[in-house]
Structure formats: structure tokens, C-alpha cells
């Protein structure tokens, strides 16, 4: 197979649009007759080079926390909501999809489940659903969450499965010690930085690559916007939570969190996107938006009165009981001619029909 650079040189020479380029890549590598699971790997690797298409209006999608909330008897480790959401996303035809962790139930699956410690099977189930994106030539970029890491420390079998089934298909331009875990890519003058972000106050494990992140943020030549993605919010939706799982929460590591947020604000990041908290909420700290869309696989109650006081412009503005929290996803529409990015958040009703829950402009 030709290397990524030569493929991008072909794109530049022929001035092919992105979709035609991806189809050309697939044809050249003989993957049209290959299994759907192979398709996203080639596309994701091709996307690591800066885009050459001067698209004026284009979109990308965001999902998170696609694990099954039924840890007791899940058969696949993947939420049933993922299928309708992926189908809706395919209908939208975004340029790519971002997932901010907790792909499967993983280490949190209980012994009573047939999926207990069946990590390869769980990721295979995830890839079977998301293969719909590959068939539509829509790349998927993912990072891991705590469900993909372990209960309290790294689970060796889970790590092996994630590296083989997911990280192996991601770009390899991150820190050497985090190949396929932390990485970045540029598309249509927007830079996307995907961060492996496990922190554990108990044993001192921190995978958040601060020095690499600093370098990536400062390297913004030809870039109009930067999005940073991590699994955990930097600012919590519930300061009163009595049962914190501190090793998974960036917002509980206040010194590290403040260093992290200062890096983002100093380098004019457009927004920080995350999941982990099983709800949808957004707000701003130091004029930098934090957007949390973690409600796809599980749900939690929400109360704006308990959101970290540093956050301004918090939404929703009224409480959302757990029973009313619905699964959802986000679509980001970039208008290059207006230098604007509009966000639309969709939720699913009881019949899995999507409806618009929130819309706003980032810039």
C-alpha cells in the first residue's frame, strides 16, 4: 500500500475533493472488497495529514460513552442506542466522527454477564455497529475512557484488546509512549487534539501528556481553530457528589486541571469536548467552552445548582431528572466563509426518534 504522504501528494496533484480522495485510497489499496472493519483504519490514517480541500461548509459529529449501562447481564458491552445514533450520523454525512471514550462496558462488566472479561468480543460488537461509518466512508477517531482502562488500575487484558482493536487504527503521531492513544490531526484548517487522559490520585498514574499537548497547541501554523478532546470534563456538573471515583476525574485533580485549562486558554482553544459524565451540559470557564455529551450509553440526573461555580452560561438551566435524561450526540457545522461553528445537539425520544435539544454558535 502506498504511504500516507504519497496519497496526499496524489490528492494535491489531482485536486480531488475529500470524498473522492478517500474512494481513490480505497480503490488503490484494494479495500473495496475487504471487510468493513478494515475500512476505517485506512481512512483514519489518511486523515492524519492536513486537508487540502477548501470546503466552505462541512460537519463533524461527536459521540461518547457508548458502553452498555447494564453491567449485570450485557451480552455485548455496547449500548443499543449506538445503532440508531450511527444511522442518524450516516444520514448527516459528516466528514468524520469523534468519540471521547468509554466505547464498551469493559472492566466494569460484572461476572453475571456473558460479556465478563470478553474484551475482544465487546470491541468486536462496537466495531460491528460503527462499521456503518466505514461503509459510508466516514472516519471514526476515538480515545479511551475509564471503562476502556480498568477499574482502579490498568487491566492488562483490556489494554491489550483496546490497543489491538481500536488504538491500532488511530493516527500514530502522538507521544511515543502513547501510540494510538493520544494524537492529533488537521482538517480544513481546524486542528483536533485527542487526549488519553487517565488520572489516578491513589497510585500516581497520569497518562495526560502535558508536554506533548503544549507542543501541539503551539504548533498552529495554518490553523484557524483548535478543538481538544478528553474523556473527563475539566469542570464537574456536580460538586456535591458523595461517591467520587477520583481516579477517573480530571476535575478532582485540581492542580493538574488548572495547568491543563491554562494551556488551553493561553493557546486560544475553540472548545474542550468530553464525555464521562452521563448527561449533556455545557458552559464556559475563562471564555473557553466546555461541552459534555456523555449521555449515549447511560443516564444521570442533572442540576445546574450543583455545577462547578467557575462555569458561566451553563445549560441546561433547569434540573433534568435521571428518568428524563435521554441519549444523544452532537453535530458541529463549520462555515469557513463566516469563520463560524454551529453546534446542534440531538437527543432520542422513547421511540429512538431524534429531536433537536440545543443549538448555539461557538464562534
Report domain extents, the chain. 39-361
> Which residue shows C-alpha cell 460537519?
59
Give per-residue pLDDT as tens, 148-169: 998 877 889 999 999 999 999 9
In eight-state DSSP terms, residue 51 is P
- Which 3 state secondary structure label does DSSP give 190? strand
170 pLDDT above the threshold of 70: yes
Reply yes or no on whether the pLDDT at 55 is more than 80. Answer: no
State whether CATH 3.20.20.70 applies to domain 39-361: no
The Cα–Cα gap between 4 and 137 comes to 17
- Rg of the Cα atoms in the chain: 19
Digit-coded pLDDT (tens) for 219-263? 999 999 999 999 999 999 999 876 555 567 899 888 899 999 999
Give the whole-angstrom CA distance, residue 119 versus residue 41: 20
Does the pLDDT at position 11 exceed 60? no
> Phi/psi zone of residue 102: left (φ > 0), alpha (ψ -120 to 50 degrees), beta?
left
- The pLDDT mean for the chain works out to 85
- Environment class of 120 (CB within 10 Å of its CB; exposed 0-12, middle 13-18, buried 19+): middle
Smallest CA-to-CA distance from 212 within 190, 231, 197, 233 is with 197
The whole-number average pLDDT for the span 197-209 is: 72
DSSP 3-state assignment of 172? coil
pLDDT tens digits for range 70-81: 999 999 999 999
CB neighbour list of residue 335: distance below 8 Å, 6 or more residues apart: 56, 57, 341, 342
Q: Output the pLDDT for position 244.
A: 57
Residue 54 has pLDDT above 70, yes or no: no
Q: The pTM is what?
A: 0.85
pLDDT at position 252: 86
Amino acid at each position: 500500500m502506498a504511504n500516507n504522504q504519497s496519497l496526499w501528494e496524489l490528492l494535491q496533484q489531482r485536486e480531488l475533493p475529500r470524498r473522492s480522495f478517500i474512494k481513490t485510497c480505497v480503490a488503490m489499496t484494494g479495500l473495496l472488497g475487504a471487510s468493513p472493519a478494515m475500512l476505517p483504519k485506512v481512512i483514519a490514517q489518511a486523515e492524519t495529514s492536513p486537508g487540502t480541500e477548501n470546503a466552505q461548509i462541512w460537519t463533524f459529529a461527536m459521540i461518547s460513552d457508548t458502553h452498555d449501562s447494564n453491567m449485570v447481564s450485557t451480552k455485548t458491552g455496547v449500548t443499543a442506542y449506538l445503532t440508531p445514533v450511527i444511522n442518524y450520523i450516516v444520514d448527516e454525512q459528516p466528514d468524520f466522527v469523534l468519540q471521547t471514550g468509554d466505547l464498551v462496558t469493559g472492566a466494569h462488566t460484572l461476572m453475571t454477564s456473558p460479556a465478563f472479561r470478553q474484551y475482544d468480543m465487546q470491541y468486536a460488537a462496537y466495531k460491528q455497529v460503527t462499521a456503518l461509518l466505514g461503509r459510508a466512508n466516514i472516519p471514526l477517531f476515538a480515545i479511551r475512557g475509564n471503562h476502556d482502562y480498568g477499574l482502579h488500575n490498568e487491566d492488562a487484558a483490556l489494554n491489550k484488546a483496546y490497543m489491538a482493536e481500536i488504538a491500532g487504527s488511530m493516527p500514530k503521531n502522538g507521544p511515543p509512549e502513547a501510540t494510538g492513544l493520544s494524537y492529533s490531526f488537521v482538517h480544513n484548517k481546524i486542528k483536533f487534539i485527542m487526549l488519553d487522559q487517565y488520572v489516578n490520585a491513589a497510585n500516581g498514574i497520569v497518562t495526560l501528556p502535558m508536554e506533548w499537548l503544549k507542543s501541539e497547541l503551539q504548533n498552529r501554523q495554518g490553523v484557524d481553530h483548535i478543538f481538544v478532546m478528553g474523556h473527563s470534563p475539566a469542570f464537574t456538573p456536580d460538586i456535591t457528589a458523595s461517591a467520587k471515583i477520583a481516579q477517573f476525574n480530571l476535575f478532582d485533580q485540581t492542580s493538574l486541571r488548572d495547568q491543563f485549562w491554562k494551556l488551553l486558554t493561553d493557546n486560544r482553544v475553540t472548545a474542550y469536548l468530553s464525555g464521562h459524565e452521563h448527561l449533556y451540559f455545557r458552559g464556559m470557564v475563562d471564555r473557553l467552552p466546555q461541552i459534555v455529551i456523555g449521555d449515549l450509553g447511560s443516564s444521570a440526573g442533572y442540576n445546574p445548582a450543583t455545577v462547578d461555580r467557575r462555569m458561566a452560561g451553563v445549560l441546561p438551566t433547569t434540573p433534568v431528572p435521571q428518568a428524563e435524561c435521554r441519549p444523544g450526540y452532537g453535530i458541529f457545522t463549520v462555515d469557513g466563509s463566516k469563520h463560524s461553528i454551529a453546534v446542534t445537539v440531538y437527543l432520542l425520544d422513547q421511540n429512538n426518534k431524534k429531536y433537536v435539544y440545543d443549538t448555539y454558535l461557538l464562534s
